[in-house]
A and B are shown apart, each in its own frame.
Chain A
């Protein structure tokens, strides 16, 4: 299993950024996927998850309405569209593979990408 995160960078407050995660080594369309972030020197925060259908999602309250998780199964790629970015969104964003096909409360992370750094600053 390999998860290659990309798309991070420096963006101004209020701006937008799209992260990508190229997956390989497993049947991408058979697993739910997630994004988890880690602010500098801080702990982990589960940001969003997406299962087999577009409506099978989870979003943390802090990103609801601003972030959108999506996937392209033909390209084995996961995305995170981040809009209205705030300074407190600054973090390393990790792409992750869930343990199953559906997003359910008991989902857990089985594999992690290496992360991509997003810095929101003026």
Chain B
């Protein structure tokens, strides 16, 4: 099994931009789609990004996804930070045998 490594926490000010990384330990980040999920405190997760960079209907374009093969990493970028963006963010990918989530990144908007 592979592991997806995320920073434990990040923080940024309202109105700024933040990027959260998700690094795959083995197997190609480019060969297996990455999803991103947001979980606000006390709530169920919601889906922000699927298939590396696509947004479900209703997700603002302040949220964007990308991948970088050289670092075998995926990235979630949030621009124009709002206080309501304060949440845990999880990346998720797969191989033939398993579906794996990253351990999550706590975003603080201060």
What 0/1 readout, one digit per residue, does chain A (1-44) give for beta carbons within 8 Å of chain B?
Answer: 00000000000000000000000000000000000100000011
Encode contact with A along B37-77: 1 for CB under 8 Å, 0 otherwise: 10100001111001100001000000000000000000000
Given contacts A105-B94, A109-B37, contact A43 B44 (CB under 8 A): no
Set B35, B96, B103, B104: member contacting A109, Cβ < 8 A = B35
Closest to B103 in A: A43
Count of chain B residues near A, Cβ 8 A: 24
In the assembled complex, the CB of A116 is this many whole angstroms from the nearest CB of chain B, namely: 11
Once bound together, how far apart are the Cα atoms of A36 and B90, in whole Å?
13
Interface size on A, as a range, is 20 to 34
Q: 5 nearest interchain CB pairs?
A: A46-B99, A44-B101, A112-B44, A108-B35, A43-B104
A contact residues vs B (CB 8 Å cutoff): 36, 43-46, 58, 60-61, 94, 99, 105-115
